[in-house]
Amino acid sequence: MKILVGIKRVIDFSVRVQVKKDGSGVNTDGVKLSINPFDEIALEEALRIRERGTPAEVVAVSIGPADCQQQLRTTLAMGADRAILVESTDAIQPLMAARIFHELVKRENADLVILGKQAIDDDFNQTGQMLAALWDRPQATFASKVELKDKALAVTREVDAGLETIEVDLPAVVTTDLRLNTPRFVKMPDIMKARSKPLQSLRLADLGVTEAPKLETTSYAPPPQRMGGKKVADVPALVAALKERGVL
């Protein structure tokens, strides 16, 4: 069994993002960059599938500049067997990412693709669904539990009304939610071992993927500052304050 796991490099969740003064983008100078948290969960689940006794090769895949090798080395230290970096200096939007993954799926003859449900930098939540459509295979999104059953997966999904359990045949695409698992910590011996694991670099031309039409971002702006709150003595005073602000 071969499992591909998508890995995106993002600004670390603990960093307070700052917009550049000219509004041209987000300031990344000297900012800590990490694996997207949902993607860490996806990798952890792939490793657990293998550790439950399923013979599987886990391949971590990232799309981005050469610096993304640092995050891919972290995936190798966590336990991935090998890694692939598709080099691109452009901002990759969901459809383009899905097309790249589709080509890798065909090249690698993958049985399962696990992606984070979304990235914390753009929150698109589209790549997994687009990949399933291009691949013409089943999808199970927002997974909070995954069980492998022969050539199928039983996936418990988080939906608005609660939990839903579905079964999909392999090959398939799964996107992970926060409650699926807690990713493991990387130990120093594993970091040292990861240096000898294979990390392959490819270019878009190697996959035969051409640039897709892009959405154009015209400007960036920070959210407006929140107004200070105030205490009121009773309910009538609260109603009066809301009317004053035009809420009621």
Report which of 95, 93, 5 is spatially closest to residue 49, judged by C-alpha positions: 5
In 8-102 the beta strands, taken as DSSP E runs, fall at 9-11, 33-35, 57-64, 82-87
DSSP state of 164: E
In the chain the beta strands, taken as DSSP E runs, fall at 2-7, 9-11, 33-35, 57-64, 82-87, 112-116, 139-149, 152-159, 162-169, 172-176, 199-203
> How much of the chain is helix, strand and coil, in % rounded to 5?
30, 30, 40
pLDDT digits (tens), the chain, 248 positions: 999 999 999 999 988 888 888 888 888 888 899 999 999 999 999 999 999 999 999 999 999 999 999 999 999 999 999 999 999 988 889 999 999 999 999 999 999 999 999 999 889 999 999 999 999 999 999 999 999 988 899 999 988 888 999 999 999 999 999 999 999 999 999 999 999 999 999 999 999 988 767 788 888 888 888 877 888 999 999 999 889 888 88
Is 0.85 topped by the overall pTM? yes
pLDDT at site 45: 97
**For residues 188 and 100, what is the distance between their CA atoms, to the nearest angstrom?**
32
How many residues are recorded in the chain? 248
**For residues 160 and 166, what is the distance between their CA atoms, to the nearest angstrom?**
15
Domain, as residue range, for 234: 2-244
**For residues 236 and 202, what is the distance between their CA atoms, to the nearest angstrom?**
66
Tell me the H-state helices in 117-210. Answer: 127-135, 188-194, 204-207
CATH code assigned at 125: 3.40.50.620
Q: Which residue has the tokens 């640039």?
A: 211
Report which of 169, 61, 49 is spatially closest to residue 105, judged by C-alpha positions: 61
Q: Dihedrals φ, ψ of 180, to 5°?
A: -65, -45
Count of the separate structural domains present in the chain: 1
Q: Which two tokens stand for residue 114?
A: 């696990």
